[in-house]
Amino acid sequence: MKTLWKLDYSQVKSGLNSGEFTPTELAESLWERIEAVDPKIKAFLSYEKEFVLKAASESTERRKNGKPLSEFDGIPIGIKDNICVANMLTTCASRILENYRSPFNATVVERLLEKGFVLFPRTNMDEFAMGSSTENSAYQITTNPFDTTRIPGGSSGGSAAAVAASMVPVALGSDTGGSIRQPASLCGIYGLKPTYGTVSRYGLVAYASSLDQIGPLSKDLQGVVDVYSVISGKDPRDASSRNISPYDPSKQQSVKIQGLKLGVMKMTSEISPEVAKAYSEVLEKLKAEGAELVELDFSKLGSAIPIYYIIATAECSSNLSRFDGIRFGSRKDLAGKLEDLYVSSRSEGFGPEVKRRILLGTFSLSAGYYDAYYGRAQKARVLIRKEYEGYFSKVDLVLQPTSPTTAFKIGEKTSDPIQMYKADILTTSVNLAGVPAMSLPIGKDSQGLPIGLQVTGPVLEEGKIFSFVQSLSSRIDPKIDLPDTIR
């Protein structure tokens, strides 16, 4: 049973339900794997071993007595450090929350526990989800399992790396401008950014409230589908939650490649040659299968990065104002004036990237600049949404590379924030429009680094994405195995 950690999500689910192994045996195997490789990967911020093994033992007992909570009872799942788990540290990888323990569960956590999932908290992230490389964590830099000198993507890099390195079969991340899809692409796994409002944000520590969305990452499509079916659905505690039922995989209809209209993009200078080549090869296979490829005009989406960063930073400057050393956050000045307490708590508690974004957002919301920046960005956002509506009046799905490059070296872009922001050039428009999108692996570059394809669909059409990805995956054999040793 020592090699149970090698199993992907579907194999884990099947093995548990057939009684081939127990949740406890699985959890113990995963802990051996974590202890062996996480010192190199640094995917987890803490090891809640006693908590995990207790939950696995309870699941084992339920299955032994023939009373599992669901078909998912005993399946391990990684939890990103900005998703609240009761009585657990929830630090958002920030010093300002270094001692904060959540008094409640996020809605997604409650729904997972109701089905018997075994939580593996807490995966590393960019501080307050602000970053594209997981280099902005206040505690450690997570590395890419395919090459530990490179980044895993961000901000959900800890969750993506944990799944890719077989430390958990599935994990939760959050996506504000590509933070699930981009690390999924760079780590060679599947990752879904759902339609905005289909998954509750209650208990997700907010970065940009109108953009944030929780979603799953997995080595196989089934893990994404199953977890989405559990965590989706209306939540009265979240004002932005859509009035929909949880996703029902049994109602998912198959999609034939032949006759499907697929929106595609012309390659630009930002896309690396090897990513462009892998993308083109997939399109050729789809064309040979009878799909109709429709070249779309993405020129208006070229403004998505500045629109995104004005809106996101404005919302973050408002959301993070609660971290003042009094209501939330570590108190750094116990003797000075009230203003000194605010300044010292935030100066010592927030990292450089968070401060940069707070300052930018505060500026764009300030008197005299609100209409010039934030107001215009919101108007432009409407145009982005209409652009996607126009695309889906012509095509069924839109296909693009997820990331313009494969994983870059640690430290390569930290000195140039603009170059780092451009890592999300193909993903931010999806969040601005509120539509669903998934990244799936389609191959490797010459250095053995994963390449991902982004499949975007109309609002509430996750099922169409899943069906297409399933059909495509059976044709391209997208599973990307790690090297024998993590180097």
Active site residue 179: yes
Active site residue 80: yes
Distance of alpha carbon 144 from alpha carbon 164, whole angstroms:
9
Q: Which is catalytic among the residues 59, 156, 174, 179?
A: 179
Query: Is 51 buried (19+), middle (13-18) or exposed (0-12) by CB count in 10 A?
Result: middle
* Strands of the 397-401 sheet, one edge to the other: 118-123, 76-80, 170-175, 213-218, 190-193, 437-444, 450-456, 397-401, 261-264, 292-295
Dihedral (CA of 359, 315, 381, 228) sign: positive
Name the residue among 295, 290, 293 with its Cα closest to residue 257. Answer: 290
Q: Which is catalytic among the residues 59, 155, 218, 403?
A: 155
Structural contact between residues 204 and 175, judged by C-beta atoms closer than 8 angstroms: no
Q: Which is catalytic among the residues 42, 80, 413, 464?
A: 80
Which one-letter DSSP state was computed for residue 299? Answer: G
Q: Token match 């944030």: residue?
A: 212
Region of residue 329 (left: phi > 0; alpha: psi -120 to 50; beta: else): left
Amino acid at 395: V
Active site residue 155: yes
Q: Where are the alpha helices (DSSP H) in 289-416?
A: 304-319, 338-349, 352-365, 376-391
Show which residues are catalytic. 80, 155, 179
